[in-house]
Structure 1
Amino acid sequence: MKSYFFAFLILGAASFVPLISFAQSASTVRVDSLNALLSSEGCSDKQKAASLIASLQDEFETLEYQEGFLTFLRNRAYSYYCFQQMDSAAYWFVQGAKHARSQELWDWQGEMLKNAGNIFLLKADYDSSMFFFERALQVSNETGDSTFLPATYIGKGIVFQHLGELEQAMDAYLQAERISRNQKNLNAQVNAYLNRLTILSDHYPDRIDLAELYATLELCRKHELRANQTTLLQFTAGAAADSGKWDVAMAQYEEGLQIANEIGRIDLEVYHLEGLAELARKRGEHQAALKYIEKGLLNAEKAELVPNQIQLYLQQANISLEIGDYSQAVNSAQKCIALGESTGQKEVYYKAYKYLSNGQKSMGNLSLSLDALEKYIALSEEVLNEQKSNQLSELQTQFESEIKDNEIASLTQEASIASLKLDQQRFMIFGLIVLVIAGVGIGTMFVRQQRLQKKQQMAQIEQRLLRSQMNPHFIFNSMTAIQHYMLQNGAEKAGHYMGTFSKLMRQILEHSRVEFISLGEEVDTLRNYLELQLMRFGNRFAYAINIDETLDENYHHLPPMFAQPFIENSLEHGLFKGLSEKNHIEISMTAQGKDEIAVVIEDTGVGLAEETTSQGHRSLATQITQERLAAFKASSQLASRMKIENKVNEAGEVLGVRVALVLPVKVLISS
């Protein structure tokens, strides 16, 4: 579900509240009346819009009325937008910005620049779009006017989202929400939330807060924000369908469809028709689903909504296959592919090759079926590789950003120390005669303090370096596992594996920046890692995580990533070779007093001696963990220790390995 919400489109031209007042005259009253007509009818009647534009141009031949002239330029551009004349719309928004600047009307300039950015965004000219959004932000910084900021940040977020820079898009939307909340601008606040919701829905569905979603829907109902209401109904209906509440989903899609029809939003009608078609298909009501699709295609073609046409043809091909109408399935798949190739949206249309192959095969066209199947496989691999590349690029960017932050912090600290030394030297020079003894004492204490600080800083830096070593080591092992998993399983399962891996990588990167994380975060990371390994090893082992009742997952904090390397050693080198018929890993966390936590990892593997000699392997992760413990103790002066031993029975047989870690624990309030 990818629809974007532009502030100037949803607000409309007529909703702008002028910030300047001028004395009214007969001429200005006539201009205001013509502007009101152009605002209300400029999107519905092209001939009347042209007539109103000509009349207003005649009025301004002799009239000096800056507010009316700028309103005219904006309404004129908005009318061109409504009739899909994007170049003309962009031109008149830019002209409006230039005129507003010449008159030093900064609120108008920012508004025009923001709308120009939105027009270039619709034209997919992302460089030009970002240029105008940045110019609008610059105007705000220079003048202090912030009325247009929420919509500008929404526009920037959409650009980032189109470019695949999802974290930057989320930041822009959150910034828009924050500013609009402070301005009590509910419409912009909801628009920003909706755009943020599109990212969550497409990429992080588990992060959607349903309570927040329904609360926002009720807010829109209360304040009659009908366009936003029908959009939110798409998401609530989708959530209901995913949880098996099909009747609820159907009612919400139909409610959204009715509202979209009443307010004349064809694009929103199409999204609800897509949802109704998919829901009908799941319920086995194939003919009803095809009727929804046919209506959706009529509307999408009328409004030139190409992405929606691609999705609808894809649905039509799938349903036609299910009911045995192979000719229609082939026809729909071919239309989907043609439109998809014209827009480059292969992440959507590549599936149509699979439907095309199945349709041709059912019709006996085996050669054509094989050709389509080969294209499907090739495109599937391209899409999967691009997704993997994007995820790895994001990880690399975060690594580089962290390194730069550390370098900046280090340089800032060095500059501060140098400045402090210079101040001390000046003080000592001026007070040397009368304070020589005190100066010597202060100098001695200062040197001692500097040595202690540097010693502690070096230990902290060593600790950060060791954590940063763990991340590439862990990523290397995980990517090797992913490669193996992809060779053994299909692209669909590998895609699910990559999604789980991406979530785990995000947790690892976030935790690598801090000294302590909550117990709940550590447990959640371990669970994600073990679930990932369960997928990899085909559920060939079981695990349990036990937490002492005296520990609180939110308030008790411990250093991150100490248990994972030993779990990895167990899985890679010992677990599947032991005497036990059941492969099992157990992690226990118990409090030891108020300042320590014991973390115990036990497995049913081959044991230490066999594990080491059979593999000829010494775990780099274990070595780094030992060094981390030493560096952590040096930097924080808090207790930490480790013991690794075999588990044996009464007969002296090795039943596995037991690792006991004692780590410091802090009681903090998580943000």
Structure 2
Amino acid sequence: MNVQFRYQLILLFVAFHCPGFTYAQSSKVDSLKKLVPSLSATDRIDGLNALSEAFWGMRILDSAQFFAMKAVDESTKIKYGLGLGNALANLATVDYEIGNFVEMEKRSLISISIFTKLHVEKRLANGYALLGQAIWAQSKFDQAIEAFDQAAHYYSRFKDSTALGRTYGRMALLEEERGNYERSFQYCLKALKFNKNEAFFSLGQLYADVGDYETAREYYGKISQRLKVGTYLKIGETYYLQTNYDSAQYYYQLYIRESRDVSKKTLTKAYALLGGLYLKLEKYDTALFYLNIALTDFEKDNNRNWIMRVLLELGKAYKESGEVSKAIKTTNELLTTAEESGARQYIRDAHYLLFQLFDRLEQKNSAYLHLKQYTALNNEIGIDISARKLSFYKTSHEREQAQLKIALLSQQRQLQQEELKQASQQREFLYMGILAIALLAFVLVRNVLLKKREEKHLRELAETELRIQKLETKKQLGDLEMQVLRTQMNPHFLFNSLNSINRFILQNNKSQASLYLTKFSRLVRMILQNSQNKLITLEQELDSLKLYLSLEALRFDDHFMFAITVQDDLDVSALKVPPLIIQPYVENAVWHGLMHKEEKGQLDIDVLSEKGFLYIKIMDNGIGRQKATMLQEKADTTHKSMGIGITSQRIAMLEEPSSKGSVAINDLVEINGTPCGTEVILKLPIMYD
């Protein structure tokens, strides 16, 4: 057997077995090590590169690096371009595993230059993929997307579906990381066609972003066993976001145990996440210890994505531990890095943290400027998040329709006529769903235009306000905080209503879906009209409240009755109230009081005036707050509504020259002390135009 033929066998073996090397295959690597010394010139260099790739497949990084360096030295001596390009690509692969991203970028660029001159397009695909990973880790997002696009182009030409799916999966994670969620979702769909592991990982991340942590963990669980360790940090993060800190800590520690033998660099992310966990547990010294270790390692590797994440957590930790000056310095570093990288979510979070810090120092002007920038950016990102949620609901619906179609096709021939009838009904429901999505899209676009107009007005107002005395600045700051609270209310309510429409559609309940969709469209139109004004008439508020309650009663099969009573001498068409000021308390009474009641419930809303104030009493005969709290804790819900807290802050900020709003919540009990419901009393200043 001649040398060239033997080496061809080596290359075939490595190409087919490197990705899945096991301990049992180490004897074959030993055979390669014995064979390489007998080779010479270019054959020897190719053999060294084959050994480097084999050891990388076994995750023995020191040996992979050693043989690649030898290939570099020998290729340079005899001016063997292809061998040098392959060796540099192998070193770049090892650099990624150990976090040496700056050196990885340099080696990838040189290998790409070599492969371009030699017209080796198959190796160019791998070179561009490595370059994309290296510069992505340094938060050069636009350049990374360009490199991945080049890699995808070459992988597509040579029909390398596995590598193509892996590339699309990385592009999905990159776009998600910099806040372009719709693009990320589209790349997920592309990855799903070629490489399910990459698609499952990206989809898990996106479902975690929208708060569906159970589905996120389902996707992580679908990833093949050999890649399971890489999901432990992500699974831990889903538990962390659910405030299930014990489970989060378990998966972080599990990742540390499973990764310890691979590379110390792989532990840095786990240290960063543990730092964030201890911050939530209010163990600030421990949090600072882990976060500073992680920051040092990430800065050495110029891993700017994780640098920004750790800087944000450090700023919060310094703030909570009382080290305000360190917190401001750290947060300013985050803002500078985020602005250079174009990471909108970190720019937003940095502005909000600086607002809190300057507000604590009572530097109101600086606080106001950062709050204004946070508000504008938060509104932008909020629109992206709404669009992302719509995409997920639409995709879930299409997937379930496909599953239904497969089930129907497997039935006997006598059911074919019924299948056509059901398909027609499904199209009707799909059209109704599309109409609902189009209506909500119209609402979002309209809000964008209105907010741009409002931002222009705020800029003009800000220039005047900065010249006013300190007391006036404080009042304007309060008004802007109320604006932030209002913008957080509307998406919350719209999301719950859209979820109800989706449920009716999936249940094929045509009549209920049609009735609910009709009422929901009216309610959306009311919200669109009311949200343009800081104050609306009491009549408009009560009309939207009646429509909301009728929607809830319809959704829960008339499980409760309601009545709204207004004092005779009140002019509801003249009195003014903030929009959606009553609805969160009514929603709380329905969901946590009446829905858990076995028999039909009753909700009464009384509106009256007394001594210059408007009183709104909300009374339910539900199960009471104590029992509701116990049920909620047992339910282990993943969603925590902020509606009550936000609305109570809005009411507290309603301040007229001689009056101020307030909220009182009373537990109702029978004579024998048994809980029989809850009473909420809203006290609002009487306001007119």
TM (norm. structure 2) is 0.52
Give the equivalent residue in structure 2 for 1:198: 205
Give the equivalent residue in structure 1 for 2:26: none
Q: Which residue identity does 2:205 align to in structure 1?
A: T
Quick one: distance in 2 between partners of 1:570 and 1:604? 21
* Structure 1: gaps (5+ residues): 1-10, 182-188, 399-458, 508-519, 526-551, 591-597, 608-612, 616-671
Give the equivalent residue in structure 1 for 2:221: 215
1:217-256 mapped onto 2 (5 Å cutoff): 219-220=224-225, 223=226, 225=227, 229=229, 231-256=230-255
| 1:291 Cα deviation after fit | 1.9
Give the equivalent residue in structure 1 for 2:44: 30
1:497-536 mapped onto 2 (5 Å cutoff): 497=489, 499-500=491-492, 503=495, 522=501, 524=503
Give the equivalent residue in structure 1 for 2:279: 281
Give the equivalent residue in structure 2 for 1:306: 304
CA contact (8 A) 2:553 2:560 kept: yes
Q: Which moved more, 1:335-344 or 1:298-307?
A: 335-344
- Evaluate the alpha carbon distance shift between residue 376 and residue 261 of structure 1 in structure 2; reply closer, same or farther with a 3 A threshold: farther
Please give the per-residue CA displacement for 1:64-85, whole angstroms capped at 9, x wherever unaligned: xx7x676435325546774623
Give the equivalent residue in structure 1 for 2:75: 56
1:252-267 mapped onto 2 (5 Å cutoff): 252-264=251-263, 266=265
Q: Which residue identity does 1:176 align to in structure 2?
A: A
Give the equivalent residue in structure 2 for 1:156: 171
- Evaluate the alpha carbon distance shift between residue 282 and residue 588 of structure 1 in structure 2; reply closer, same or farther with a 3 A threshold: closer
| 1:53 Cα deviation after fit | 0.9
CA contact (8 A) 2:91 2:104 kept: no
- Evaluate the alpha carbon distance shift between residue 296 and residue 322 of structure 1 in structure 2; reply closer, same or farther with a 3 A threshold: same
Number of positions where the alignment pairs a residue of Structure 1 with one of Structure 2: 459
- Evaluate the alpha carbon distance shift between residue 497 and residue 100 of structure 1 in structure 2; reply closer, same or farther with a 3 A threshold: farther
| 1:209 Cα deviation after fit | 0.8
- Evaluate the alpha carbon distance shift between residue 394 and residue 324 of structure 1 in structure 2; reply closer, same or farther with a 3 A threshold: closer
CA contact (8 A) 1:137 1:149 kept: yes
Give the equivalent residue in structure 2 for 1:7: none
1:387 equivalent in alignment to 2:387: no
- Evaluate the alpha carbon distance shift between residue 606 and residue 465 of structure 1 in structure 2; reply closer, same or farther with a 3 A threshold: farther
Quick one: distance in 2 between partners of 1:603 and 1:481? 35
Give the equivalent residue in structure 1 for 2:521: 565
Quick one: distance in 2 between partners of 1:256 and 1:88? 30
Aligned match of 1:493 in 485, 496, 501? 485
CA contact (8 A) 2:116 2:124 kept: yes
CA contact (8 A) 1:97 1:110 kept: no
- Evaluate the alpha carbon distance shift between residue 90 and residue 140 of structure 1 in structure 2; reply closer, same or farther with a 3 A threshold: closer
SS state at 1:34 partner: helix
Quick one: distance in 1 between partners of 2:214 and 2:352? 31
Quick one: distance in 2 between partners of 1:323 and 1:397? 41
Please give the per-residue CA displacement for 1:77-99, whole angstroms capped at 9, x wherever unaligned: 54677462355333334246436
1:111 equivalent in alignment to 2:111: no
Q: Which moved more, 1:300-309 or 1:125-134?
A: 125-134
Give the equivalent residue in structure 2 for 1:75: 90
SS state at 2:195 partner: helix
- Evaluate the alpha carbon distance shift between residue 394 and residue 332 of structure 1 in structure 2; reply closer, same or farther with a 3 A threshold: closer
CA contact (8 A) 1:346 1:379 kept: no
Q: Which residue identity does 2:303 align to in structure 1?
A: L
Please give the per-residue CA displacement for 1:515-551, whole angstroms capped at 9, x wherever unaligned: xxxxx862648xxxxxxxxxxxxxxxxxxxxxxxxxx
| 1:274 Cα deviation after fit | 2.8
1:128-167 mapped onto 2 (5 Å cutoff): 129-158=144-173, 160-161=175-176, 164-167=179-182
Q: Which residue identity does 2:520 align to in structure 1?
A: Q
Give the equivalent residue in structure 2 for 1:431: none
CA contact (8 A) 2:86 2:111 kept: no
CA contact (8 A) 1:110 1:148 kept: no
| 1:204 Cα deviation after fit | 0.9
CA contact (8 A) 1:313 1:336 kept: yes
- Evaluate the alpha carbon distance shift between residue 320 and residue 94 of structure 1 in structure 2; reply closer, same or farther with a 3 A threshold: closer
1:585 equivalent in alignment to 2:550: yes
- Evaluate the alpha carbon distance shift between residue 494 and residue 123 of structure 1 in structure 2; reply closer, same or farther with a 3 A threshold: same
Please give the per-residue CA displacement for 1:286-338, whole angstroms capped at 9, x wherever unaligned: 32222222322232233223343333343333333333344544454454445
Report the structure number with the largest CA radius of gyration: 1
- Evaluate the alpha carbon distance shift between residue 279 and residue 157 of structure 1 in structure 2; reply closer, same or farther with a 3 A threshold: closer
TM (norm. structure 1) is 0.53
| 1:179 Cα deviation after fit | 1.8
CA contact (8 A) 1:113 1:135 kept: yes
SS state at 2:550 partner: strand
CA contact (8 A) 1:337 1:352 kept: yes
CA contact (8 A) 1:297 1:312 kept: yes
Quick one: distance in 1 between partners of 2:244 and 2:433? 48
CA contact (8 A) 2:168 2:191 kept: yes
Q: Which moved more, 1:136-145 or 1:191-200?
A: 136-145
1:94 equivalent in alignment to 2:106: no
| 1:36 Cα deviation after fit | 4.9
Quick one: distance in 1 between partners of 2:179 and 2:259? 29
Give the equivalent residue in structure 2 for 1:171: 186
Give the equivalent residue in structure 2 for 1:271: 269
CA contact (8 A) 1:576 1:605 kept: no
Q: Which residue identity does 2:293 align to in structure 1?
A: K
Give the equivalent residue in structure 1 for 2:641: none
Quick one: distance in 2 between partners of 1:13 and 1:43? 20
- Evaluate the alpha carbon distance shift between residue 178 and residue 468 of structure 1 in structure 2; reply closer, same or farther with a 3 A threshold: closer
CA contact (8 A) 1:380 1:491 kept: no
CA contact (8 A) 1:107 1:145 kept: no
* Structure 2: gaps (5+ residues): 1-13, 22-34, 393-427, 456-477, 531-536, 567-571, 575-689
